[in-house]
Amino acid sequence: MRYLLFTPVLCLLLLSSCNQAKVKELEAKLVSSEQQREMLDTQLESVQRTNGDLLDRMEDLSVISKEGATSIRESLQSISGQTSYIKDLNRSIQRKDSLNLALVMNLKRSLDQVAGNDIQVEVRGGKVHVSISDKLLFASGSARVNTAAENVLANISTVLNDHRDLNVIVEGHTDNVPVKINGVRDNWELSTMRATAVVRKLTEDFYVDPSRLSAAGRAEYDPRGDNDTAEGRASNRRTEIVITPNLDEFFKLAKDAGTAG
């Protein structure tokens, strides 16, 4: 059996060799750690960039959402305003329709006993029309109101004075036969003279407020019947009392809607 004799020099050599191996191992670990640290730094920078991008996008999204919410809110407010306007307008129309119906019933009840078939009461275009044949109101070729027609105008005036918020247009109408009356130029003039005569009667004898009244001559240009027949021409020779709703309420609604819009 051989025994290995360790001399001090040999021990030093062995120890040096072990230390070098340990140093190399530590150096390798250090290099690996540096590589890992660099990799982690790179990952950290990537994550930070990603987070920054996400924050930027979230901020943009927040801005867009606020703008979108504002736009939606304004649209909803506009729709709500329009809905309210339409509801108000519908209520006004319903009130006007109810008033027209009551007005027609009052007029028919007042006129049935004094006029017969010479007066027609109807609603056209949202207005109440009282159509009176000229043979009831005037003598042929005349613009003077007959005494017999005063009861008719008196009853109409009573209804008008019960509804002082309504405006009235008195329209004169003729057939298309040219007039042959001294001092009267044409059907325009005759129809206007007759409308004016009725207005004067309403204001002077029956106390209808003149600020509510207008007189208009339509001549033969708004016929109700066929001017080629005697019956049609007779229906065209008429005076119409047109009772119109006070439009101030509708104009106010339109103005308010325009201001809100």
Would you say residue 27 lies in a domain? Answer: no
Would you say residue 134 lies in a domain? Answer: yes
pLDDT in tens, 104-162: 888 888 887 766 678 999 988 888 999 999 999 998 888 999 988 888 999 999 999 98
Would you say residue 44 lies in a domain? Answer: no
Please report the pLDDT score of residue 154 as a whole number: 93
Intervals of the chain under pLDDT 50? 1-4, 6, 9, 12, 250, 253
Would you say residue 13 lies in a domain? Answer: no
Would you say residue 71 lies in a domain? Answer: no
**How many domains, the chain?**
1
Would you say residue 97 lies in a domain? Answer: no
Q: Beta partners for 170?
A: 215, 241
Backbone angles phi, psi at 196, to 5 degrees: -65, -40
Would you say residue 84 lies in a domain? Answer: no
Distances (CA, A) of 153 to 6, 132, 133, 213, 240: 152, 10, 13, 14, 12
User: pTM above the 0.85 mark?
Assistant: no
Q: How far is CA 179 from the centre of its chain?
A: 47
CATH code for the domain of 110:
3.30.1330.60
Angle at 225 between CA 139 and CA 160, to 5 degrees: 60
3-class SS of residue 218: strand
Distance CA 215, CA 169 (A): 6
Q: Provide the residue range defining the domain that includes 117.
A: 106-251
Would you say residue 65 lies in a domain? Answer: no
